[in-house]
Amino acid sequence: MADNYAESDKALEAIQKYTVADNPSAFLAVNSGNSYFSSPSSPGVIVYRPTGRYLVQFGGPFAPAESRAALLKDFVAFAAEQDRTIVAVQVQDADAEPYLEQGFTINQMGASYAIDLSTFSLRGTAFMQLRNKIARSLRSGLEVREVPLDDWEDQMRALDASWLGTKGEGVKQLEFLVGQYGGHYQSMRRLFVGILDGKLAGYITYSPVYGAQPGWLHDLTRRLPSGPPGVMEAINKTAIDVFTAEGVKFLHFGFTPFTSLDKRPQLPGHSEAFHWFMSHLWENGAAVYPAQTQLAYKQKWAPGIVLPENIAFQHGASIPSLVHIFRACNAV
């Protein structure tokens, strides 16, 4: 049984040790369903999913700075052996160099967001609406607690099924770029639940973040559709209070595609058409992914840290490459 986790344990070690790129979502590397590439000649790990004729890579190489290019080169050779094309998602700006050197085209695909807990406060007019929403949910009788998974897993799975049912017929549970709970790595996550009349009204899981902005990643969230407004906000505020008291430095809100596309100049060699298309999906792509709705929640917390997140195309910007990221996520 231990051998089943040998590869993902190695990936975990890599994301903890090789934080060159400071990928705030790196913990998704240990999601079940991921495949791992490593090379006998280079330390580190590449996380990916074989998807159709593509290898969809998560993040950049989790490797020492001086080895990333060699590991990527070996991964390129590995893909060629299978006649597959690489597309990498959630590539950080600090990951870009080895990709550019090897002829990849890199475009910004969205951004991730974070707050500095050492300076964070909900005081002031800007947060009045949020404070009021949280207060209303608590007045409704909502109780928020940090809990172990075991006591709540059944209710969480039922809530997940109920939530998925509201998304329409045939809509599948997303994978790959979203968190998981349970399983081998659950002890490394934290879980906060909202309880109303003794029953689960919502939950948020938090995953560890390593590197220069360490802390927790606001990961999976679900709430009862019929619950009062403010459940998520109340849960997250409680978690923020707990983390702050512990001296945790940062709370990350993770990646949202199609967002914050013009915060910094695009990388050299990028595709203008793909950049246009990402902007178009921000404006008109709610059916593809509800980016505006997701960002609206994150912006309630006024995240002062915005980190560009990129897509790297092996053979130039490509629509099928983009589609295969969605396919790896079980979204198509």
Partner 1 sequence: MSEEIDAAGQRVFEMFGAVAAAPDDRETGALADEALAALDALLAAQ
Q: Residue 42 or 108: which CB sits closer to partner 1?
A: 108
**Residue type at 86 in one-letter notation:** I
Only one of the segments 136-144, 184-192, 297-305, 312-320 lies at the binding site for partner 1 (rule: CB under 8 A); that segment is 312-320
* Interface with partner 1, residue 23, by CB under 8 A: no
Can you tell me the distance from the alpha carbon of 166 to that of 264, in angstroms, rounded to the nearest whole number? Answer: 37
Helix (H, G, I), strand (E, B) or coil at 317: coil
Q: How far is the CB of 119 from partner 1 (least distance, A)?
A: 40
327 binds partner 1 (CB under 8 A): yes
330 burial class (0-12, 13-18, 19+ CB within 10 angstroms)? middle
Structure tokens at 156: 């969480």
Is residue 50 a contact residue for partner 1 (CB under 8 A)?
Answer: no
Binding residue (CB under 8 A) for partner 1 from 142, 217, 326, 329: 326
d(Cα 107, Cα 95) in Å, to the nearest integer? 12
User: Is the Cβ of residue 55 or residue 159 nearer to partner 1 in the bound state?
Assistant: 55
Q: Considering only residues 279 through 308, tell me which ones interact with partner 1, judged by CB under 8 A.
A: 280-281, 284, 288
CB of 167 to partner 1, least distance (A): 17
| Helices and strands: H and E segment counts in the chain | 9, 11
Q: Are 258 and 291 in contact (CB under 8 A)?
A: yes
Residue closer to partner 1 by CB (options 53, 139) is 53
Q: How far apart are CB 207 and partner 1 at their closest, in Å? A: 28
**Sheet containing strand 105-116, strands side by side:** 35-39, 42-51, 54-62, 85-92, 305-313, 105-116, 250-257, 215-223, 199-209, 190-196, 143-146
CB closer to partner 1 out of 56 and 63: 56
Residues 229-288 that bind partner 1 (CB under 8 A): 271-274, 276-277, 280-281, 284, 288
List CB contacts of 303: < 8 A, sequence separation 6 or more: 113, 114, 115, 253
Could you list the beta-strand ranges (E) of the chain: 35-39, 42-51, 54-62, 85-92, 105-116, 143-146, 190-196, 199-209, 215-223, 250-257, 305-313
Find the shortest distance in angstroms from Cβ 171 to partner 1. Answer: 14
Q: Give me 254's structure tokens.
A: 């993770």
Residue 47: CB minimum distance to partner 1, A: 21
The DSSP 8-state label assigned to residue 304 in this structure reads: S
Count of CB atoms situated within 10 Å of the CB of 279: 14
Binding to partner 1 by residue 317, rule CB under 8 A?
A: yes
Joined tokens for residue 229:
């407004």
- CB of 316 vs partner 1, minimal distance in Å: 8
d(Cα 79, Cα 53) in Å, to the nearest integer? 10
Pair of tokens at residue 207: 């995953």
Given 80, 158, 161, 319, the residue binding partner 1 (CB under 8 A): 319
Residue 22 or 175: the one with the smaller Cβ distance to partner 1 is 175
Window 137-176: contact mask with partner 1 (x via CB under 8 A) = ----------------------------------------
9 and 24 in contact (C-beta within 8 Å)?
no
Shortest reach from residue 275's CB to partner 1, in Å: 9
- Near partner 1 by CB under 8 A: residue from 50, 52, 103, 141: 52
Residue number with CB closer to partner 1 (62 or 326): 326
Q: Based on the shown chain and the rule CB under 8 A, indicate whether residue 82 belongs to the binding site for partner 1.
A: no
**For binding to partner 1 (CB under 8 A), which residues are involved?**
52-53, 271-274, 276-277, 280-281, 284, 288, 316-320, 322-324, 326-327, 332
